[in-house]
């Protein structure tokens, strides 16, 4: 069962080939047997999963099933889940049991999906390798000596290892797309505002966006259909109808104009990645697309802009973690200042502290205009680059990440080098655009990703473009050895 896609699983459940309880038990067995090698899960919710599976079987029996009813999935441990620990990969929230569900959690519950557990992640989503987690690093199933990418590394590795058929993730600067590329799966970051952020613990509020991690574009279309929608509780949610993302999956790509930014193919791009992207673009030409050279001139400013905006917003968001109302609390504080200082000092890890300090500095009196305000001005220029490009082309393509998965510990002591892992993805978040990564090849036995970037709310077009590629290639069907 673990080799089937979501459409095949839904068909098997409807036709009584197997029950949701049987499939859920099979997933739990694989997690119990294989996750020790990978460390994908922080919490496994076996009892709750089986209750949900029994309810799903009853719903299927009554003929009220949807495309996700009875299908197990994993939830990134950044989405609040009522009665279940929501840690954000941090000691700070190691004892936090959420009293409510995030909107995405609610929507997936209503769809009848079965939550197997909560996945490991970089602490408060701050990282590109899943090495900053309080619960230890996640290992890449293609090579356990290498990182799965981050911050949604636990979700990506769980899907790649066939522990679950689908998972949720969040993307602030590439945290769905980069781990999808490094683990050989499909990852979609929707347009900002398409998926509710209510109950999704905030890192950088103007950048964060939830989305699906799946094995294929078709599966991503099913997941996004359940996750998306307007939410009055989220002030940044866009009141726009949710499309049926399955309808246009097989549309022709004849005449599609693909923009290739010269800035995505320069220094720093590994040869194996460049070769895989070039081969993938050749497949698109066979499908009727035209390649057009373009320029996004402010791309080089994306990383420094992001690392002012994101830390500034995280500094503000994480100020609520003070040891008073919830989360980690230092023992025997001498006074209020000691409580604040030691709770935050002991509860946060090094990368989170680094970003809080950077962000606090950027927002401080005398520096706000020089840093945060200036970064927002540059952010607008980056957005305008994309909008100008979309006047003449339909989508933009290029590598998702500059290299394949790197070794655990290889970049831990070099934060700037680590930050450059997201050099091709960050600008998409700054502009609020949708972006998708699909498997496009292997180099030295490690998967590589092709990134497809679209205009606002063109998720259906991106999924169509990805699906047509996956109909003529089999990169998305490859499984890491030992997890077939």
Reference 72, options 135, 9, 151, 134; nearest CA is: 9
Q: Which pLDDT tens digit goes with each residue over 168-186?
A: 999 999 999 999 999 999 9
Average pLDDT score, the chain: 96
Say what percent of the chain tops pLDDT 90: 94
- Confidence bin at 266 (pLDDT 50/70/90): confident
Is the predicted pLDDT of residue 225 greater than 80, yes or no? yes
Average confidence (pLDDT) over 308-326: 94
Q: Which of 232-241, 358-367, 393-402 has the lowest mean pLDDT?
A: 358-367
Q: Under a CB-based contact definition with an 8 Å cutoff, are residues 134 and 123 in contact?
A: yes
Peptide bond into 131 cis (omega under 30): no
Helix ranges (H only) for 123-270 are 153-160, 177-183, 217-227
> Distance between CA atoms of 404 and 410, rounded to whole angstroms?
13
pLDDT at 366 over 90: no
Q: Kindly list the catalytic residues.
A: 76, 151, 175
Of 169, 149, 270, 181, nearest to 450 by C-alpha is 181
pLDDT one-digit tens code per residue, 335-361: 999 999 999 999 999 999 999 999 999
Residue ranges, comma separated, of all CATH 3.90.1300.10 domains in the chain are 6-255+394-477
Q: What would the pLDDT profile of 456-469 be if each residue is shown by its tens digit?
A: 999 999 999 999 99
Mean pLDDT, residues 443-471:
97
Q: Which of 415, 181, 399 is nearest to 270 (CA)?
A: 399
Under the banding of pLDDT at 50, 70 and 90, the label for residue 418 is confident
- In the three-class reduction of DSSP (H, G, I as helix; E, B as strand; rest coil), residue 439 is classed as strand
Q: What is the pLDDT of residue 268?
A: 87
Nearest by Cα to 149 from 180, 119, 186: 180
Q: DSSP assignment, residue 370?
A: I
User: Who's near 14: CB < 8 A, 6+ residues apart?
Assistant: 60, 65
Which range (36-45, 63-72, 415-424) has the least confidence? 415-424
Question: What CA–CA distance (Å, rounded) separates 476 from 234?
Answer: 34
Residues 411-439 as b/e (b if ≥16 CB within 10 A, e otherwise) read: bbeebeebbbbbbbbbbbbbbbbbbbbbb
The CATH architecture annotation of domain 6-255+394-477 reads Alpha-Beta Complex (3.90)
* pLDDT (mean) for 242-250: 96
Supply 89's token pair. Answer: 């990969």
Query: By C-alpha distance, which of 40, 9, 5 is closest to 24?
Result: 9
Question: Is residue 167 a contact partner of residue 73, using CB atoms and an 8 Å limit?
Answer: yes
CB 172, CB 196: distance < 8 Å: no
Beta carbons of 451 and 440 less than 8 angstroms apart:
no
What pLDDT, on a 0 to 100 scale, did the predictor assign at position 451?
A: 98
Pair of tokens at residue 458: 């063109």
CA distance 163 to 32: 9
Q: Is the pLDDT of residue 419 over 80?
A: no
Q: How many CB atoms lie within 10 A of CB 244?
A: 10
| HSE value, Cβ hemisphere, 13 Å, CA-based, for 24 | 30
Per-residue pLDDT tens over the stretch 77-104: 999 999 999 999 999 999 999 999 999 9
Q: How far apart are CA 197 and CA 449, in angstroms?
A: 26
Instruction: List strand residue ranges (DSSP E) for 272-331, in order.
Output: 290-294
Q: Which of 227, 288, 237 is nearest to 258 (CA)?
A: 288
Query: Hey, how many other C-beta atoms are within 10 angstroms of the C-beta on 451?
Result: 27
pLDDT at 363: 92
Both tokens of 316, joined, read 């503000």
Residue 106: pLDDT above 90? Answer: yes
């Amino acid at each position: 069962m673990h080799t089937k896609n979501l459409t095949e699983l839904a068909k098997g459940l409807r036709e009584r080939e197997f029950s949701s309880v049987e499939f859920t038990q099979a997933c739990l067995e694989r997690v119990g047997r294989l996750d020790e090698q990978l460390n994908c899960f922080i919490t496994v919710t076996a009892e709750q999963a089986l209750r949900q599976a029994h309810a799903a079987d009853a719903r299927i029996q009554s003929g009220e099933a949807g495309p996700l009813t009875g299908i197990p999935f994993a939830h990134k441990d950044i989405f609040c889940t009522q009665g279940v620990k929501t840690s954000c990969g941090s000691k700070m929230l190691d004892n936090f049991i959420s009293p409510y569900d995030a909107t995405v959690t609610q929507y997936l519950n209503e769809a009848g999906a079965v939550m197997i557990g909560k996945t490991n992640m970089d602490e408060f989503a701050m990282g590109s390798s899943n090495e900053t987690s309080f619960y230890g690093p996640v290992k890449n199933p293609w090579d356990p000596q290498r990182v799965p990418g981050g911050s949604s590394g636990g979700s990506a590795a769980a899907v790649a290892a066939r522990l679950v058929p689908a998972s949720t993730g969040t993307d602030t600067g590439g945290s769905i797309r980069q781990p999808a590329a490094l683990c050989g799966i499909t990852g979609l970051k929707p347009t900002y505002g398409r998926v509710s952020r209510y109950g999704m613990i905030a890192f950088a509020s103007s950048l964060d966006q939830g989305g699906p991690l799946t094995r294929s574009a078709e599966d991503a279309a099913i997941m996004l259909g359940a996750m998306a929608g307007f939410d009055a509780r989220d002030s940044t949610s866009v009141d726009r109808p949710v499309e049926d993302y399955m309808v246009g999956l097989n549309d022709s790509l004849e005449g599609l104009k693909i923009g290739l930014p010269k800035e995505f193919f320069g220094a720093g791009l590994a040869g194996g990645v460049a070769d895989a992207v070039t081969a993938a673009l050749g497949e698109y030409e066979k499908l009727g697309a035209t390649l057009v050279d373009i320029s996004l001139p402010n791309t080089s400013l994306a990383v420094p802009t992001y690392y002012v905006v994101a830390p500034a917003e995280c500094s503000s968001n994480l100020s609520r973690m003070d040891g008073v109302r919830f989360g980690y609390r230092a023992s025997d504080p001498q006074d209020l200042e000691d409580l604040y200082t030691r709770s935050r000092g002991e509860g946060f890890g090094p990368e989170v502290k680094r970003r809080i300090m950077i962000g606090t500095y950027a927002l401080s009196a005398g520096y706000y205009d020089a840093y945060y305000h200036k970064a927002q001005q540059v952010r607008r220029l980056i957005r305008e680059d994309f909008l100008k490009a979309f006047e003449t082309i339909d989508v933009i393509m290029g590598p998702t990440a500059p290299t394949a998965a790197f070794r655990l510990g290889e970049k831990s002591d070099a934060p700037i080098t680590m930050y450059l892992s997201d050099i091709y993805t960050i600008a998409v978040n700054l502009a609020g655009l949708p972006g998708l990564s699909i498997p496009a090849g292997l180099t030295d036995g490690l998967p590589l990703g092709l990134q497809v970037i679209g205009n606002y709310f063109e998720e259906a077009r991106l999924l169509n473009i990805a699906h047509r590629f996956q109909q003529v290639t089999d990169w998305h069907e490859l499984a890491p050895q030992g997890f077939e």
